[in-house]
Amino acid sequence: MSLSTTTARFLVLTGALLLAACGSPQVIVEGKFPAPLMEPEPLDLGIWYTEEFRNHVFSEAGKKKSGGGWVVETGAAQVQMWDSLLAGMFENIVYLTEPPGTGAVAPVDAVLIPHVAELQYAIPAHTNVKVYEIWMRYRFELVTPTGDALGEWEMTSYGKTPTAFLQSDEAAVNGAAIMALRDAGANFATSFERVPAVKAWLSQRGAAAGG
């Protein structure tokens, strides 16, 4: 096989891969997330966002579905939403620059580490119903400033947007993602103190303060 033939085949293969990648619809989630109207919990809470969380991307580009193969980037919107929510929920928020337990101990009561454990979507091409839906499952870790575990729990959220009010599939997916993020914020705000591990930790803090 000549060098020119090899080069030509390589270029054809590269072009095919680029076309396949370009064929995957991509959405960078953008929206607004107002702070919750509630009395802040009197806690100094550290927040650690992992690199995976900050840059979270959901992709099904490898799945051959009609209208499928979406790439949904939620990382920036995740950070924006959780920043707004947590700043409204707690008296003082400290954003850690390194994981708890790996460096200097932050002057906080505890550290929250959120993870996106799973994201699923359904679009009209999948369901034959003109509704765009997104489900998210979160996993949270609450640890001491030195990294010792205080508790771990999961939480789900859901968002959907009808296509009738949108101009494109991308806008519909973005709208569903924003609704799922807002639902996550509302669920977290109303359930945080009822999580068994959190409830036990807050009770222990109260008893220590009272004693």
**Best CA proximity match to 36, nearest among 91, 93, 85:** 85
25-210 under CATH 3.40.30.10, yes or no? no
Banded model confidence at residue 2, pLDDT cuts 50, 70, 90? very low
CA angle 115/45/211 to nearest 5° reads 130
In this predicted structure, the answer to whether residue 41 has a pLDDT above a threshold of 90 is yes
Interacting residues of 11 by C-beta distance below 8 A, sequence separation 6+:
none
* In the chain, domain spans: 25-210
| pLDDT surpasses 60 at 20 | no
Q: How far is CA 138 from CA 35, 80, 97, 164, 172, in A?
A: 20, 16, 22, 29, 22
Q: How far apart are CA 156 and CA 209, in angstroms?
A: 33
Distance CA 164, CA 172 (A): 9
The two tokens of residue 84 are 């707004």
| Span 149-204, pLDDT tens digits | 999 999 999 999 877 677 788 888 899 999 999 999 999 999 999 999 999 999 99
Residue 105 sits at the vertex; the CA angle it makes with 103 and 111, to the nearest 5 degrees, is 105
Going by C-alpha positions, the residue among 44, 43, 147, 150 that lies closest to residue 99 is 147
Write out pLDDT tens, residues 84-114: 999 999 999 999 999 998 877 889 999 999 9
User: Quick one: angle between helices 169-191 and 75-89, nearest 10?
Assistant: 30
